[in-house]
Amino acid sequence: MDKQTIRERIWDALESEGIARFPYPPHGRIPNFVGASEAAERLADQPEWQEAGTIKANPDAPQLPVRRRALREGKTLYMAQPRLKSEKPFLRLDPDEVSDIDEATTVSGVSNHGVPMGPEEMTEIDLVVSGSVAVTEAGTRIGKGEGYSDLEFAVLRELDLVGDDTPSATTVHGRQVVDDAPAPEPHDVPMDLLVTPERVIRTEGGEKPSGLDRSLLSEERIAEIPVLDRVR
């Protein structure tokens, strides 16, 4: 099965089985799910989380409890701006400076509270949390198909803000854990931890991307994302 077939199968299952939660429909997005808060709590029990002072997390709805927990525990949080189109494509949320954690960790509120930053201004990341449509027990992640999560990792890797030893985690519903998926490509970031509301799956990980794959960067793509030209 190709990635899109798997996505459609998971989106359909989450909707038909009553697992999906707002925003609806789950299709075309990182789907929210029943038990997202419990998965965030389980992630917070893991040593990778407890040892992290700085976390990069995706902005999607199912990871909202993860982002809120990070700030409430005094961790610095980075989120990427939509499609990395800004000259400063990341937003930093400092727990000592955020007055309204609930608002600041939403997609609509983060721009009001976060400090825009280029990767040159950021500090080293201790844990990367990604959203997934599907993921295998071996750690192969399938996103919604736009590739921004992997691109963000590659940009940060170019500046040594993440590395092979940086833990990567995703929170998903058990229904999103699949038996098989297409072989990962060199730019795909493998997941070290899969956390569902019921369990934690530790994978053998895999080699993380060493940086930007120049062969995948068209001039049009670079023109759309200013930071790519700077890093290149």
- Range(s) of the domain holding residue 12: 3-231
pLDDT beyond 80 at 205: no
pLDDT at 206: 83
pLDDT at 230: 80
Strand partners, 92: 78, 115
pLDDT at 220: 85
Query: Cα(95)–Cα(75) distance, rounded to whole angstroms?
Result: 6
CB atoms within 10 A of CB 109: 15
Q: How confident is the model at residue 216 (pLDDT cuts 50, 70, 90)?
A: confident
pLDDT at 232: 65
Return the percentage of the chain with pLDDT > 70, whole number: 100
Domains: count for the chain:
1
Tell me what the mean pLDDT of segment 20-24 comes to.
97
User: For tokens 């949320």, what's the residue?
Assistant: 93
The CATH number assigned to the domain holding 65 equals 3.40.50.10420
Model confidence over 141-166: pLDDT tens digits?
999 988 889 999 999 999 999 999 99
Cis peptide before 186 (omega within 30 of 0): no
The whole-chain average pLDDT of the chain stands at 95
Q: Do the strands 32-33 and 20-21 form a parallel or antiparallel pair, or are they unpaired?
A: antiparallel
Side-chain-side CA neighbours of residue 222 (13 Å): 13
pLDDT at 223: 84
Tell me what the mean pLDDT of segment 179-207 comes to.
94
Tell me what the mean pLDDT of segment 104-115 comes to.
95
Tell me what the mean pLDDT of segment 45-49 comes to.
98
Query: Cα(106)–Cα(60) distance, rounded to whole angstroms?
Result: 8
Choose between 185 and 113: higher pLDDT: 113
Query: Cα(176)–Cα(125) distance, rounded to whole angstroms?
Result: 26
30, 36 in Cβ contact below 8 A? no
SS (H, E, C) the chain: CCHHHHHHHHHHHHHHCCCEECCCCCCCCCCEECCHHHHHHHHHCCHHHHCCCEEEECCCHHHHHHHHHHHHCCCEEEEECHHHCCCCCEEEECCCCCCCHHHHCCCCCHHHHCEEECHHHCCCCCEEEECCCEEECCCCEECCCCCHHHHHHHHHHHCCCCCCCCCEEEECCHHHEECCCCCCCCCCCCCCEEECCCCEEECCCCCCCCCCCHHHCCHHHHHHCHHHHHHC
31, 25 in Cβ contact below 8 A? no
Single out the residue of 130, 131, 135 nearest to residue 3, CA to CA.
Answer: 135
- Predicted TM-score (pTM) of the model is 0.95
